[in-house]
Amino acid sequence: MDKIDKSQYKNLRSSFQYLVNHVLGHDYYNTCADVYSSDKECVSAMIRKFDKLSDKVTFYKVLSAIFAVSTVVMTIVSLI
């Protein structure tokens, strides 16, 4: 590995660690034995977290739509 490759690898590791810290938290850890399986587990954990976030966003969109419809219905009823 030459000097440029080492520098690129160091930059990639640093960027990946930054991403893991901000998405999963500074206290995140896994029990994988090597860097490659640990990285794979981190990515899987991030995907699970994004999926949960997506489910929450969908829930709040539905809740918001129900609230909007009920507000319109209440407005119409009050005008009658």
* Segments forming the whole domain that contains residue 14: 3-79
Are 42 and 24 spatial neighbours (Cβ–Cβ below 8 Å)? Answer: yes
Domain count across the chain? 1
Q: Would you state the pLDDT for residue 1?
A: 65
pLDDT of residue 27: 93
Query: What pLDDT is attached to residue 21?
Result: 92
Taking 50 as the pLDDT cut, the residues of the chain under it are none
Task: Decide: pTM greater than 0.75.
Answer: no
